Structure 1
Amino acid sequence: MLFKIRKEKQKPNMRVIILEYFILLSCFCVFGIISLYGFATGVLNANGWAHLDLHITRSLIKSTTSTLPNRTIAPQHISPLKVIHTLLENHIDNQKVSELSALLLENGFSANRTVLIYEKPIGNKTEIKFPRKFPKNYKPKKFLRFYNTCAILGSAGILLGSRCGKEIDSHDFVMRSNMAPTIGFEDDVGVKTNLTTLNSEKAKLLAKCLSRRKYKCRQVALDLMKEFNGSIIWFSKYGVVKSSAYVSFTDTIIKQGLKTDVSYPAFGMPRRVGSFWNISSVSSGLVLYTIAGAVCRKVSMYGFFPFHETASGRPVPHHYYENVIFNYTKRHHMPDEYKLFLKLNRTGHIRFVTDKCLQDD
């Protein structure tokens, strides 16, 4: 009918044309809403909420990793050290980093409170204690200073094949989680370690293996300790879990003459970190970033990926050095931490790396 009216008058009627477009647009909108509802309903009914979460997860990864400044192309004439300085200089917002650092210090996350390096008792005293209060004039012999560039490593399987090793080692200070092994994975995770966390379960196992020569696991434990020779082993959960494992571990490495420092916080780190970021059951990665935020000017983060597959569908193991199954939402709230790291990356507080680091051999 509209077409006949237009043909008889021979002149376009703007009101009629606008009405036609409005009707067509309305039809498309209604069709789109019905289709979207049908898709969502089909996903939920047929596959359950977990499959919808996977769709959302893939969308999240695709929308964020494509914009992350994490791909490193290193020409032959440029060293990894210059590459990382350039990447950090172009991405980090120094003003925002300074503001967050001041806030962390204001909330008690200073290096002389978070990383207290254990000092052996003077004389014949053999009892190991981790004091939290000191005289006002006390000056520690060892302590963390302020660093220009820091790398924080998680242990996610996303590091496999990343070739980020040289880039990681080019940072001034490298922090790792729970003494994750580096031998055999040097190209992807590097070899440099200045500080590593150690949980109570692994501390207990290492102390047991190192204590007696007859144990078959002794050599494995010794090899692992050699990897972290000269680094600081940090009992990040001291004060939250039983300290007996940490005491036993410290006593063992002293008796074995191993050259490494152990350290601990002056308060319950996981709880205070969780309160600061408003995230419960925090992982060692967020705890490490919290102390790094107070002692590092520019921070890169690698190996934090709480998903079982990439956006393209490639399977990703929980750890780069072992294939274990882990529930990322039950034990730790890692997806929440991942979102926090993405936000800190967007605001220029950190450089968050989830892609490959292309380097020259």
Structure 2
Amino acid sequence: MVAQRPSVRHFYRSMKDFQPLDKSCSSCAIVSSSGQLLGKGAGKEIDNASCVLRMNTAPVTGFEEDVGARTTLRILCFISVKALQKEGNGYLLGPSRPETVLFWGLNQEKHKSAKVIAEEVFQKYIDSVDFYSQTQEGELEAGRVFMNETGFQRADTNTWLSTGWFTIMLALDMCREIKIYGMVPEEYCKTHQKEPTKYHYYQKNQSPTECGYYASHEASRKGGHRFITEKAVFAKWAKKFNISLHHPEWDLDNVNLSKPIDTPFAHRQVVLQKERQRWKHTMNILFKVIAVIAALICSMCPRYLLISL
């Protein structure tokens, strides 16, 4: 478990002069992209924070009453750079433009094309917004934190960390007080499986639903986001550090900081680990049996040679 707030700002480097991010806020509002925010009227409260953090390409225009109008930082994954390039004026100009854009995931070899697009966006809007890109060491640190919190390696379990994971890690380093809006707790979807809440508040179609999308990714073996598991970690961080969660409100009284994570993803990994251990034990016994049989055969070889002579 994270013993103290992580130090991650230095992993974000200016795309202009490679200087590390040097930003701090007395209070931060992290605005999720969830449909939970629709109709809640949290916009004014969000805008009252000293810093407002938004993720990927979640829009502001048309949703101000529920999600606020200000943007201090916008954190984007490598997948979102194409949408940012296409709708750059809408996101990076005008009253809701961010002061700073932070990219993560650009420095992997397989994401070279996303890095090229991000560079083009940076050059086009260099006079309007400050752009930063996370180093590869920053991604590795995020994976180490996931391992420390869950006991499972990100890569070995085909886990994709969410932009929310990187955003909250950054906020822990940057903000004295943190309020998160529109994020459901770990247990929420157990009792709201059929709730029609949209995964993203701005999606035109009703599908995918939030809980349906979470469940499919949590159970995926081929690779996926572990949203429910991340929220189990966030609950511990919220209890330990100065974090409150709203719309819906989180009850942190029963959060046990010393209890291992027990989500569908974590449970499956424990089962798989036991299966691998049993398989390894079985193979060890088999190899020992084969070795004994081979030794017996070899001990009888001279007799057969004498008989044949």
One fold, TM greater than 0.5?
yes
Aligned residues of 1:115 and 1:144 also touching (Cα < 8 A): no
Q: In the alignment, does 2:4 pair up with 1:100?
A: yes
Number of residue pairs matched by the alignment: 222
Contact 2:73 2:102 in 1 (8 A): yes
1:313 CA displacement = 5.8
Aligned to 1:123: none
Q: Which residue of 1 aligns with 2:32?
A: 154
Give the structure, 1 or 2, with the largest relative contact order (CA under 8 Å, sep 6 or more). Answer: 1
Alpha-carbon distance change, 312 to 162 in structure 1, aligned in 2, over 3 angstroms: farther
Which one is further off, 271-280 or 155-164? 271-280
Instruction: Using the TM superposition, give the Cα deviation of residue 171 of structure 1 relative to its aligned residue in structure 2, in angstroms.
Output: 0.9
Residue matched to 1:39? none
Say whether residues 1:291 and 2:170 are aligned partners: yes
Match of 1:262? 131
TM-score, L = length of structure 2: 0.63
What is residue 224 of structure 1 aligned with on the other side? 91
Alignment of 1:168 onto 2:42: no
Identity level (%): 25
Specify which structure has the higher proportion of strand: 2
Aligned partners of 1:239 and 1:268 also within 8 Å: no
If you compute each CA radius of gyration, which structure gives the higher value, 1 or 2?
1
Mean CA deviation greater in 182-191 or 265-274: 265-274
Matched-pair contact (CA < 8 Å) for 1:250–1:262? no
| 1:182 partnered with 2:49 | no
Residues 114 and 257 from structure 1, CA distance in 2 versus in 1: closer, same or farther, beyond 3 angstroms? closer
Q: Secondary structure at the match of 1:292?
A: helix
Structure 2 residue 65 is the aligned partner of structure 1 residue 197: no
Residue 310 to residue 188, structure 1, CA distance change in 2 (3 Å): farther
CA distance in 2, matches of 1:252, 1:266: 18
Runs of 4+ in 1 over 6 A off after TM superposition: 306-310
**Equivalent runs, 1:44-123 vs 2, <5 Å:** 100-101=4-5, 104-105=6-7, 109=8, 111=9, 113-119=10-16
Task: Say whether residues 1:316 and 2:197 are aligned partners.
Answer: yes
Q: C-alpha deviations, 1:16-60, integer Å up to 9, x for none?
A: xxxxxxxxxxxxxxxxxxxxxxxxxxxxxxxxxxxxxxxxxxxxx
> Helix, strand or coil: the match of 2:30?
strand
Which secondary structure state, in structure 2, belongs to the residue aligned with residue 301 of structure 1?
strand
Is residue 2:259 matched to residue 1:355? no
Could you state the TM-score of these two structures normalised by the residue count of structure 1? 0.54
Structure 2 equivalent of residue 25 of structure 1: none
Structure 2 unmatched ranges of 5 or more: 155-159, 250-309
Quote the Cα distance in structure 1 between the aligned partners of 2:126 and 2:14. Answer: 17
Counterpart residue number, 2:146: 277
Q: Which moved more, 1:312-321 or 1:330-339?
A: 312-321
Q: Deviations over 1:181-221 (max 9, x none)?
A: 011111111111111122223313443x3xxxxxxxxxx54
Distance 1:234 1:169, change over 3 A: same
Q: Which amino acid aligns with 1:237?
A: G
Do the aligned residues in 1 keep the contact of 2:105 with 2:136 (CA within 8 Å)?
Answer: no
Please report how far the alpha carbon of residue 311 of structure 1 lies from its aligned counterpart in structure 2 after TM superposition: 4.3
What letter is aligned with 1:225? L
Where 1:344 maps in the other structure, the secondary structure is: helix
Q: Secondary structure at the match of 2:4?
A: helix
**Residue 231 of structure 1, CA deviation:** 2.1
Aligned-residue Cα RMSD (Å) equals: 2.9
